[in-house]
Structure formats: structure tokens, C-alpha cells
């Protein structure tokens, strides 16, 4: 059912953890299943992502997509990171079963939420980035998780 790459990233997830002095942090929840993903990005003065880490409370596909997406955004500019869509993530994993496609959306949304947080903290606007609708790090809901 799963590709070798998915199993590899699920069994040996890369970049698990937190970045204490992260430039941006994004937390998103999947309305369909209740799973949660948090993405930490360290971005340098040139707008290049130096480090990405994640924490995911979710299914194996969510763990695998968050793992590979941290690898995909590292070393990229913010604009390039916006191209790490759920489609790109799925392709990099050699596909996901149809019922698991929604899991890959979490990775895209978590990256966007972290970039949005970075932009807000720095008072900048990132072209092509829309306010994430499901950033549960805002407001009091976070306490529930």
C-alpha cells in the first residue's frame, strides 16, 4: 500500500523535534482526522531556510510527509519553499494511497503557517502566501491539544 520511500520516512523520520529560536512556527490540524502537525523553520537574513524541524501527532503518512517536507524546504528560499506543495511532497514520496492524500496537505499547510508566522514576526509580506486558515497556534484552542 505504501511506497518504500513512505515507509523509510515513517520508520526513520528526519528532522523530528523543535527549533528553540525558530524564525517561524506553524501548527495545523487536519479537520478530517484530527491529526496535528507543527513545523519549525529557521530562516537566515537572506531569506533562506537553514533548518526545518517538525512534530507530528498523526498517521504514518502524515509523519512521512512532514519528514520529507523538512528535507525539501531546507536550503530553499521562501519563494522556493512555497513550491513544496502537497503534490510535490507526494511525488517525492513516490505517491500515497488515495485515502491518504489529505495527509500530505498537512505538510503544505504547516510550511505555509510557519512562513506566515515568520512574515508576521518580521512585518513583511510574502508574495503568494495566503493566511493559513487552520493555524491552531493562534487563540486559545492550543490548550486543548
Known catalytic residues?
Answer: 33, 103
The verdict on 124 binding ligand FES (CB under 6 A) reads: no
Kindly tell me which residue out of 19, 81, 82, 106 binds ligand FES, with binding defined by CB under 6 A: 106
Q: Which residues pair with 53 in a beta bridge?
A: 40
Name which of 23, 47, 97 is nearest 39 in CA terms.
23
Among the residue ranges 12-20, 59-67, 72-80, 114-122, the one whose residues contact ligand FES (CB under 6 A): 59-67
The piece of 41-49, 99-107, 113-121, 126-134 that touches ligand FES (CB under 6 A) is 99-107
129 lies in the binding site for ligand FES (CB under 6 A): no
In the complex with ligand FES, the residue whose CB is nearer, 78 or 106, is: 106
How many residues contact ligand FES, by CB under 6 A? 10
Residue 13 in the binding site for ligand FES (CB under 6 A): no
Please state the three-class secondary structure of the chain as a single string: CCCHHHHHHHHCCCCECCCCCCCEEEEEECCCCCCEEEEEEEECCCCEEEEEEEEEECCHHHHHHHHHHHHHHCCCEHHHHCCCCHHHHHHHCCCCCHHHHHHHHHHHHHHHHHHHHHHHHHCCCCCCCCCCCCECCCCCHHHHC
DSSP annotation of 57 reads E
Q: Residues 18-47 vs ligand FES: string with x where CB under 6 A?
A: ------------x--x-x------------
Chain residues binding ligand FES by CB under 6 A are 30, 33, 35, 58-59, 61-62, 100, 103, 106
Amino acid at each position: 500500500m505504501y511506497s518504500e520511500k513512505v515507509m523509510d520516512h515513517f520508520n526513520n523520520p528526519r528532522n523530528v523535534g523543535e527549533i528553540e529560536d525558530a524564525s517561524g512556527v506553524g501548527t495545523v490540524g487536519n479537520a478530517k482526522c484530527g491529526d496535528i502537525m507543527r513545523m519549525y523553520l529557521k530562516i537566515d537574513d537572506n531569506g533562506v531556510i537553514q533548518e526545518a524541524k517538525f512534530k507530528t501527532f498523526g498517521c504514518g503518512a502524515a509523519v512521512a510527509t512532514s519528514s520529507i517536507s523538512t528535507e525539501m524546504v531546507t536550503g530553499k528560499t521562501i519563494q522556493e519553499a512555497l513550491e513544496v506543495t502537497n503534490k510535490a511532497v507526494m511525488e517525492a514520496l513516490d505517491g500515497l494511497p488515495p485515502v491518504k492524500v489529505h495527509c500530505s496537505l498537512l505538510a503544505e499547510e504547516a510550511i505555509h503557517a510557519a512562513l506566515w508566522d515568520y512574515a508576521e514576526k518580521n512585518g513583511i509580506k510574502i508574495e503568494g502566501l495566503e493566511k493559513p486558515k487552520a493555524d491552531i497556534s493562534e487563540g486559545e484552542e492550543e490548550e486543548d491539544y
